[in-house]
Amino acid sequence: MLTFCGIDYCSMDSNGRVKLSPKFLEDFTSKGVDVVLHCLPEGAVAVYPEETYLRIRQERELTENRAAGSFVGRQMLRRSGAWSQSERITAQGRITLPQAFREHGGFGTGSQKMVVVGVEIGVELWTPERWEAERRRMEEHDMVKRDQEMQADLSF
Amino acid sequence: MLTFCGIDYCSMDSNGRVKLSPKFLEDFTSKGVDVVLHCLPEGAVAVYPEETYLRIRQERELTENRAAGSFVGRQMLRRSGAWSQSERITAQGRITLPQAFREHGGFGTGSQKMVVVGVEIGVELWTPERWEAERRRMEEHDMVKRDQEMQADLSF
DNA sequence: CTTGAAATTGGAAAAAAATGGATTATATTG
DNA sequence: CAATATAATCCATTTTTTTCCAATTTCAAG
Protein backbone atom coordinates (compact mmCIF):
# COMPACT_ATOMS: atom_id res chain seq x y z
CA MET A 1 0.00 0.00 0.00
CA LEU A 2 1.50 3.28 -1.13
CA THR A 3 1.37 6.14 1.33
CA PHE A 4 1.01 9.84 0.58
CA CYS A 5 0.25 9.15 -3.06
CA GLY A 6 -2.29 10.55 -5.48
CA ILE A 7 -4.07 13.85 -5.86
CA ASP A 8 -7.14 15.16 -4.06
CA TYR A 9 -9.31 18.14 -4.79
CA CYS A 10 -10.81 19.70 -1.71
CA SER A 11 -11.52 23.09 -0.24
CA MET A 12 -10.29 25.26 2.57
CA ASP A 13 -12.94 26.96 4.68
CA SER A 14 -12.95 30.67 5.44
CA ASN A 15 -10.94 30.06 8.63
CA GLY A 16 -8.12 28.34 6.76
CA ARG A 17 -9.09 24.85 7.77
CA VAL A 18 -8.51 21.89 5.46
CA LYS A 19 -10.23 18.56 5.91
CA LEU A 20 -7.97 15.77 4.72
CA SER A 21 -9.37 12.88 2.72
CA PRO A 22 -9.63 9.56 4.61
CA LYS A 23 -6.72 8.19 2.60
CA PHE A 24 -4.24 10.95 3.47
CA LEU A 25 -5.62 11.20 6.97
CA GLU A 26 -4.79 7.57 7.56
CA ASP A 27 -1.27 8.10 6.18
CA PHE A 28 -0.69 10.89 8.69
CA THR A 29 -2.32 9.43 11.77
CA SER A 30 -0.38 6.19 11.42
CA LYS A 31 2.65 8.38 12.16
CA GLY A 32 1.02 10.50 14.85
CA VAL A 33 -1.16 13.61 14.84
CA ASP A 34 1.70 16.10 14.96
CA VAL A 35 2.64 17.55 11.60
CA VAL A 36 4.82 20.35 10.35
CA LEU A 37 3.65 22.92 7.84
CA HIS A 38 6.40 24.25 5.64
CA CYS A 39 6.19 26.93 2.97
CA LEU A 40 7.99 25.84 -0.17
CA PRO A 41 9.74 28.30 -2.48
CA GLU A 42 7.63 26.78 -5.28
CA GLY A 43 4.69 28.66 -3.79
CA ALA A 44 2.93 25.77 -2.10
CA VAL A 45 2.63 24.63 1.50
CA ALA A 46 3.99 21.23 2.43
CA VAL A 47 2.63 19.10 5.26
CA TYR A 48 4.93 16.45 6.69
CA PRO A 49 4.60 14.16 9.68
CA GLU A 50 6.75 15.72 12.38
CA GLU A 51 9.29 12.92 12.42
CA THR A 52 9.68 13.18 8.66
CA TYR A 53 10.30 16.90 8.82
CA LEU A 54 12.91 16.52 11.51
CA ARG A 55 14.75 13.99 9.39
CA ILE A 56 14.70 16.29 6.37
CA ARG A 57 16.04 19.13 8.42
CA GLN A 58 18.81 17.02 9.84
CA GLU A 59 19.92 15.92 6.40
CA ARG A 60 20.05 19.52 5.29
CA GLU A 61 22.11 20.54 8.28
CA LEU A 62 24.82 18.15 7.26
CA THR A 63 25.35 19.78 3.91
CA GLU A 64 24.47 23.42 4.43
CA ASN A 65 26.23 26.17 6.30
CA ARG A 66 23.75 27.16 8.97
CA ALA A 67 25.90 29.22 11.30
CA ALA A 68 24.29 32.36 12.72
CA GLY A 69 27.59 34.14 12.19
CA SER A 70 27.10 34.84 8.50
CA PHE A 71 24.54 36.55 6.33
CA VAL A 72 23.81 33.42 4.36
CA GLY A 73 23.71 31.31 7.49
CA ARG A 74 21.22 33.61 9.16
CA GLN A 75 19.13 33.68 6.03
CA MET A 76 18.91 29.90 6.09
CA LEU A 77 17.85 29.86 9.72
CA ARG A 78 15.31 32.54 8.98
CA ARG A 79 13.94 30.50 6.10
CA SER A 80 13.37 27.27 7.96
CA GLY A 81 12.30 29.13 11.07
CA ALA A 82 9.81 31.57 9.65
CA TRP A 83 8.32 29.20 7.12
CA SER A 84 7.85 26.14 9.27
CA GLN A 85 5.32 25.60 11.99
CA SER A 86 3.98 22.72 14.03
CA GLU A 87 0.32 21.87 13.82
CA ARG A 88 -1.90 19.13 15.09
CA ILE A 89 -4.52 17.23 13.14
CA THR A 90 -7.83 17.62 14.97
CA ALA A 91 -10.32 14.91 15.89
CA GLN A 92 -12.30 15.81 12.77
CA GLY A 93 -9.22 15.33 10.58
CA ARG A 94 -8.64 19.01 9.96
CA ILE A 95 -5.53 21.16 9.74
CA THR A 96 -5.57 24.92 10.15
CA LEU A 97 -3.23 26.99 8.00
CA PRO A 98 -1.87 30.07 9.76
CA GLN A 99 -2.60 33.38 8.06
CA ALA A 100 0.96 33.90 6.79
CA PHE A 101 1.06 30.43 5.25
CA ARG A 102 -2.25 30.99 3.50
CA GLU A 103 -0.80 34.08 1.91
CA HIS A 104 2.38 32.29 0.90
CA GLY A 105 0.37 29.57 -0.80
CA GLY A 106 -1.67 32.13 -2.70
CA PHE A 107 -4.89 31.22 -0.94
CA GLY A 108 -7.03 34.29 -0.56
CA THR A 109 -9.44 35.02 2.23
CA GLY A 110 -12.70 33.13 2.33
CA SER A 111 -13.48 29.61 1.15
CA GLN A 112 -10.95 28.36 -1.42
CA LYS A 113 -10.49 25.46 -3.80
CA MET A 114 -7.33 23.54 -3.12
CA VAL A 115 -5.28 20.69 -4.57
CA VAL A 116 -3.71 18.21 -2.16
CA VAL A 117 -0.76 16.49 -3.82
CA GLY A 118 0.82 13.36 -2.39
CA VAL A 119 4.62 13.48 -2.50
CA GLU A 120 5.40 10.10 -0.92
CA ILE A 121 6.73 11.57 2.32
CA GLY A 122 3.85 13.98 2.93
CA VAL A 123 1.48 16.19 0.98
CA GLU A 124 1.63 19.59 -0.65
CA LEU A 125 -1.19 22.13 -0.74
CA TRP A 126 -1.49 24.09 -3.99
CA THR A 127 -3.96 26.50 -5.47
CA PRO A 128 -5.51 24.96 -8.60
CA GLU A 129 -3.79 27.59 -10.76
CA ARG A 130 -0.30 27.04 -9.43
CA TRP A 131 -0.65 23.28 -9.50
CA GLU A 132 -1.74 23.45 -13.11
CA ALA A 133 1.37 25.50 -13.92
CA GLU A 134 3.61 23.04 -12.10
CA ARG A 135 1.95 20.10 -13.84
CA ARG A 136 2.51 21.75 -17.19
CA ARG A 137 6.15 22.37 -16.37
CA MET A 138 6.63 18.67 -15.63
CA GLU A 139 4.74 17.70 -18.76
CA GLU A 140 6.92 19.81 -21.03
CA HIS A 141 9.99 18.29 -19.48
CA ASP A 142 8.59 14.84 -20.28
CA MET A 143 7.94 15.72 -23.90
CA VAL A 144 11.54 16.78 -24.43
CA LYS A 145 12.69 13.61 -22.77
CA ARG A 146 10.50 11.43 -24.95
CA ASP A 147 11.84 13.01 -28.13
CA GLN A 148 15.37 12.53 -26.91
CA GLU A 149 14.81 8.88 -26.12
CA MET A 150 13.18 8.14 -29.45
CA GLN A 151 16.01 9.91 -31.21
CA ALA A 152 18.56 7.93 -29.26
CA ASP A 153 16.81 4.70 -30.22
CA LEU A 154 17.37 5.53 -33.88
CA SER A 155 20.96 6.69 -33.85
CA PHE A 156 23.17 3.71 -33.07
CA MET B 1 0.01 -18.85 -20.89
CA LEU B 2 0.77 -15.22 -21.70
CA THR B 3 -0.33 -12.71 -19.11
CA PHE B 4 -1.36 -9.10 -19.62
CA CYS B 5 -1.45 -9.47 -23.38
CA GLY B 6 -3.90 -8.30 -26.00
CA ILE B 7 -6.27 -5.39 -26.30
CA ASP B 8 -9.76 -4.90 -24.86
CA TYR B 9 -12.35 -2.31 -25.65
CA CYS B 10 -14.58 -1.46 -22.77
CA SER B 11 -16.14 1.51 -21.10
CA MET B 12 -15.74 3.50 -17.94
CA ASP B 13 -18.94 4.37 -16.10
CA SER B 14 -19.82 7.89 -14.99
CA ASN B 15 -18.13 7.31 -11.64
CA GLY B 16 -14.81 6.42 -13.22
CA ARG B 17 -15.14 2.69 -12.71
CA VAL B 18 -13.68 0.19 -15.14
CA LYS B 19 -14.75 -3.43 -15.24
CA LEU B 20 -11.83 -5.57 -16.31
CA SER B 21 -12.35 -8.40 -18.77
CA PRO B 22 -12.18 -11.92 -17.28
CA LYS B 23 -8.80 -12.45 -18.95
CA PHE B 24 -7.07 -9.41 -17.45
CA LEU B 25 -8.92 -9.85 -14.20
CA GLU B 26 -7.45 -13.32 -13.84
CA ASP B 27 -3.95 -11.95 -14.60
CA PHE B 28 -4.30 -9.44 -11.79
CA THR B 29 -5.99 -11.54 -9.14
CA SER B 30 -3.39 -14.29 -9.48
CA LYS B 31 -0.99 -11.68 -8.09
CA GLY B 32 -3.35 -10.24 -5.49
CA VAL B 33 -6.13 -7.65 -5.54
CA ASP B 34 -3.89 -4.69 -4.77
CA VAL B 35 -2.83 -2.70 -7.79
CA VAL B 36 -1.14 0.61 -8.43
CA LEU B 37 -2.46 3.17 -10.86
CA HIS B 38 0.22 5.27 -12.47
CA CYS B 39 -0.20 8.19 -14.84
CA LEU B 40 2.16 7.89 -17.77
CA PRO B 41 3.66 10.93 -19.48
CA GLU B 42 2.29 9.49 -22.74
CA GLY B 43 -1.15 10.51 -21.50
CA ALA B 44 -2.46 7.12 -20.42
CA VAL B 45 -2.98 5.47 -17.04
CA ALA B 46 -1.09 2.29 -16.26
CA VAL B 47 -2.32 -0.40 -13.90
CA TYR B 48 0.26 -2.72 -12.37
CA PRO B 49 0.04 -5.39 -9.70
CA GLU B 50 1.39 -3.75 -6.57
CA GLU B 51 4.45 -5.98 -6.34
CA THR B 52 5.33 -5.17 -9.94
CA TYR B 53 5.09 -1.44 -9.31
CA LEU B 54 7.24 -1.66 -6.20
CA ARG B 55 9.94 -3.44 -8.18
CA ILE B 56 9.89 -0.77 -10.89
CA ARG B 57 10.10 1.97 -8.31
CA GLN B 58 12.95 0.37 -6.48
CA GLU B 59 15.00 0.22 -9.64
CA ARG B 60 14.41 3.89 -10.20
CA GLU B 61 15.27 4.90 -6.66
CA LEU B 62 18.77 3.56 -6.99
CA THR B 63 19.69 6.24 -9.47
CA GLU B 64 17.66 9.19 -8.31
CA ASN B 65 18.43 11.76 -5.68
CA ARG B 66 15.32 11.98 -3.57
CA ALA B 67 16.13 14.60 -0.98
CA ALA B 68 13.18 16.84 -0.07
CA GLY B 69 15.55 19.70 0.59
CA SER B 70 16.06 20.72 -3.02
CA PHE B 71 13.92 21.77 -5.95
CA VAL B 72 14.92 18.79 -8.05
CA GLY B 73 14.48 16.37 -5.18
CA ARG B 74 11.01 17.66 -4.41
CA GLN B 75 10.04 17.51 -8.03
CA MET B 76 10.97 13.83 -8.13
CA LEU B 77 8.88 13.11 -5.08
CA ARG B 78 6.02 15.07 -6.58
CA ARG B 79 6.29 13.06 -9.78
CA SER B 80 6.14 9.65 -8.24
CA GLY B 81 3.79 10.70 -5.47
CA ALA B 82 1.19 12.68 -7.34
CA TRP B 83 0.87 10.36 -10.28
CA SER B 84 0.71 7.02 -8.50
CA GLN B 85 -1.97 5.63 -6.25
CA SER B 86 -2.89 2.33 -4.68
CA GLU B 87 -6.22 0.82 -5.55
CA ARG B 88 -7.99 -2.43 -4.90
CA ILE B 89 -9.89 -4.54 -7.40
CA THR B 90 -13.42 -4.98 -6.03
CA ALA B 91 -15.42 -8.17 -5.72
CA GLN B 92 -17.12 -7.30 -9.02
CA GLY B 93 -13.75 -6.97 -10.76
CA ARG B 94 -13.84 -3.20 -10.98
CA ILE B 95 -11.22 -0.50 -10.53
CA THR B 96 -12.06 3.11 -9.79
CA LEU B 97 -9.95 5.83 -11.37
CA PRO B 98 -9.51 8.87 -9.12
CA GLN B 99 -10.73 12.15 -10.58
CA ALA B 100 -7.25 13.53 -11.24
CA PHE B 101 -6.20 10.36 -13.07
CA ARG B 102 -9.30 10.47 -15.25
CA GLU B 103 -8.32 13.97 -16.26
CA HIS B 104 -4.75 12.94 -16.95
CA GLY B 105 -5.89 10.15 -19.23
CA GLY B 106 -8.17 12.49 -21.14
CA PHE B 107 -11.32 10.72 -20.02
CA GLY B 108 -14.06 13.27 -19.67
CA THR B 109 -16.92 13.19 -17.24
CA GLY B 110 -19.70 10.70 -17.82
CA SER B 111 -19.54 7.27 -19.40
CA GLN B 112 -16.51 6.86 -21.68
CA LYS B 113 -15.12 4.46 -24.23
CA MET B 114 -11.75 3.10 -23.25
CA VAL B 115 -8.99 0.90 -24.64
CA VAL B 116 -7.28 -1.53 -22.27
CA VAL B 117 -3.86 -2.47 -23.60
CA GLY B 118 -1.88 -5.39 -22.22
CA VAL B 119 1.78 -4.48 -21.70
CA GLU B 120 3.06 -7.81 -20.36
CA ILE B 121 3.63 -6.53 -16.83
CA GLY B 122 0.24 -4.85 -16.47
CA VAL B 123 -2.27 -2.93 -18.55
CA GLU B 124 -2.62 0.62 -19.83
CA LEU B 125 -5.86 2.58 -20.10
CA TRP B 126 -6.13 4.84 -23.14
CA THR B 127 -8.82 6.90 -24.77
CA PRO B 128 -9.50 5.50 -28.25
CA GLU B 129 -8.11 8.68 -29.84
CA ARG B 130 -4.84 8.71 -27.96
CA TRP B 131 -4.32 5.00 -28.44
CA GLU B 132 -4.77 5.44 -32.18
CA ALA B 133 -2.22 8.28 -32.18
CA GLU B 134 0.27 6.26 -30.16
CA ARG B 135 -0.17 3.24 -32.41
CA ARG B 136 0.58 5.43 -35.40
CA ARG B 137 3.61 6.99 -33.74
CA MET B 138 5.06 3.55 -33.03
CA GLU B 139 4.40 2.49 -36.60
CA GLU B 140 6.22 5.48 -38.07
CA HIS B 141 9.12 5.01 -35.72
CA ASP B 142 9.41 1.42 -36.89
CA MET B 143 9.39 2.46 -40.54
CA VAL B 144 12.34 4.78 -40.00
CA LYS B 145 14.12 2.08 -38.10
CA ARG B 146 13.55 -0.46 -40.84
CA ASP B 147 15.08 1.85 -43.41
CA GLN B 148 18.06 2.47 -41.21
CA GLU B 149 18.68 -1.19 -40.60
CA MET B 150 18.44 -2.05 -44.28
CA GLN B 151 20.80 0.80 -45.08
CA ALA B 152 23.26 -0.39 -42.47
CA ASP B 153 23.15 -3.87 -43.95
CA LEU B 154 24.31 -2.51 -47.29
CA SER B 155 27.14 -0.22 -46.20
CA PHE B 156 30.51 -1.98 -45.59
C1' DC C 1 -10.76 43.25 36.69
C1' DT C 2 -15.08 43.19 33.96
C1' DT C 3 -17.45 43.42 29.84
C1' DG C 4 -18.19 43.27 24.96
C1' DA C 5 -16.76 42.20 20.35
C1' DA C 6 -14.30 39.45 17.25
C1' DA C 7 -12.09 35.47 16.01
C1' DT C 8 -11.38 30.69 16.48
C1' DT C 9 -12.74 26.05 17.39
C1' DG C 10 -15.51 21.80 17.66
C1' DG C 11 -19.29 19.48 16.16
C1' DA C 12 -23.53 18.43 13.72
C1' DA C 13 -26.72 18.70 9.80
C1' DA C 14 -27.31 18.90 4.90
C1' DA C 15 -25.60 18.05 0.44
C1' DA C 16 -22.91 15.59 -2.71
C1' DA C 17 -20.36 11.82 -4.21
C1' DA C 18 -18.79 7.11 -4.17
C1' DT C 19 -19.82 2.26 -3.51
C1' DG C 20 -21.89 -2.30 -3.96
C1' DG C 21 -25.07 -4.94 -6.00
C1' DA C 22 -28.57 -6.20 -9.16
C1' DT C 23 -31.00 -5.71 -13.44
C1' DT C 24 -31.04 -5.04 -18.27
C1' DA C 25 -28.78 -5.15 -22.63
C1' DT C 26 -25.34 -6.95 -25.78
C1' DA C 27 -22.32 -10.21 -27.56
C1' DT C 28 -20.47 -14.95 -27.94
C1' DT C 29 -20.71 -19.76 -28.16
C1' DG C 30 -22.41 -24.24 -29.25
C1' DC D 1 -31.36 -19.85 -32.89
C1' DA D 2 -31.17 -20.76 -28.07
C1' DA D 3 -28.22 -20.72 -24.14
C1' DT D 4 -24.62 -18.75 -21.85
C1' DA D 5 -21.41 -15.41 -20.76
C1' DT D 6 -20.03 -10.81 -20.72
C1' DA D 7 -20.70 -5.91 -20.56
C1' DA D 8 -23.25 -1.72 -19.44
C1' DT D 9 -26.67 0.74 -16.88
C1' DC D 10 -29.28 1.82 -13.01
C1' DC D 11 -30.60 2.31 -8.18
C1' DA D 12 -30.34 2.02 -3.09
C1' DT D 13 -27.06 2.47 0.46
C1' DT D 14 -23.19 4.18 2.54
C1' DT D 15 -19.51 7.29 2.87
C1' DT D 16 -17.49 11.67 2.31
C1' DT D 17 -17.59 16.49 1.79
C1' DT D 18 -19.33 20.89 2.60
C1' DT D 19 -21.82 24.22 5.04
C1' DC D 20 -23.63 26.04 9.01
C1' DC D 21 -24.18 27.04 13.94
C1' DA D 22 -23.14 27.16 18.83
C1' DA D 23 -19.57 27.24 22.28
C1' DT D 24 -15.24 28.75 23.61
C1' DT D 25 -11.35 31.52 23.57
C1' DT D 26 -8.87 35.79 22.72
C1' DC D 27 -8.21 40.54 22.72
C1' DA D 28 -9.17 45.26 23.76
C1' DA D 29 -11.50 48.98 25.93
C1' DG D 30 -13.78 50.80 29.78
- DSSP-assigned states of every residue in B84-133: EEEEE--TTSEEEPPHHHHHHTT--SSSEEEEEEE-SSSEEEE-HHHHHH
3-class DSSP assignment, residue A114: strand
- pLDDT for res B63: 61
- pLDDT for res B62: 64
What would the pLDDT profile of A79-132 be if each residue is shown by its tens digit? Answer: 888 899 999 999 999 999 999 999 999 998 888 999 999 999 999 999 999 999
CB B22 within 7 Å, strand C: no
User: In a mutagenesis test of the A interface, which of B37, B54, B77 is the best target, namely the one with the most A β-carbons within 10 Å?
Assistant: B77
Q: Which domains does chain B have, with CATH numbers?
A: 7-127 (3.40.1550.20)
Interface check B52 vs A, CB under 8 A = no
- Give the confidence band of A150 by pLDDT, cuts at 50, 70, 90: confident
A100, containing H or E segment: helix A99-104
Chain centroid to CA A106: how far? 13
What would the pLDDT profile of B82-100 be if each residue is shown by its tens digit? Answer: 999 999 999 999 999 999 9
- pLDDT for res B64: 61
CB B111 within 7 Å, strand D: yes
Sequence-ordered list of residues with C-beta below 8 angstroms from that of B62, at least 6 positions apart, any chain: none
- pLDDT for res A44: 97
- pLDDT for res A156: 59
- pLDDT for res B65: 60
Q: Which range is most confident: A54-63, A70-79, B125-134? A: B125-134
- pLDDT for res A61: 74
Alpha-carbon distance of B28 to B52, in angstroms, equals 11
In this prediction, what percent of chain B has a pLDDT beyond 90? 81
- pLDDT for res A66: 65
- Give the confidence band of A77 by pLDDT, cuts at 50, 70, 90: confident
- Give the confidence band of B68 by pLDDT, cuts at 50, 70, 90: confident
- pTM score > 0.85 for this model? yes
- pLDDT for res A65: 65
* Amino acid of residue A67: A
8 Å CB contact between A4 and A121: yes
- pLDDT for res A74: 84
Q: Does the pLDDT of residue B78 top 90, yes or no?
A: yes
Alpha-carbon distance of A41 to A21, in angstroms, equals 25
- pLDDT for res B122: 97
Q: Does the pLDDT of residue A58 top 90, yes or no?
A: no
In this prediction, residues A22-33 reach a mean pLDDT of 96
CA B15 vs CA A113, A146, B97, B107, B123: distances in Å = 21, 32, 8, 11, 20
Q: Does the pLDDT of residue A21 top 70, yes or no?
A: yes
CB A91 within 7 Å, strand C: yes
8 Å CB contact between A39 and A125: no
Instruction: Give the residue, A61 or B101, on which the prediction is more confident.
Output: B101
Interface check A142 vs B, CB under 8 A = yes
Taking CA atoms, what residue in A is nearest to B78?
A119
Alpha-carbon distance of B37 to B46, in angstroms, equals 6
Sequence-ordered list of residues with C-beta below 8 angstroms from that of A83, at least 6 positions apart, any chain: A38, A39, A101, A104
Q: Nearest Cα to B94, choosing from B121, B70, B116?
A: B116
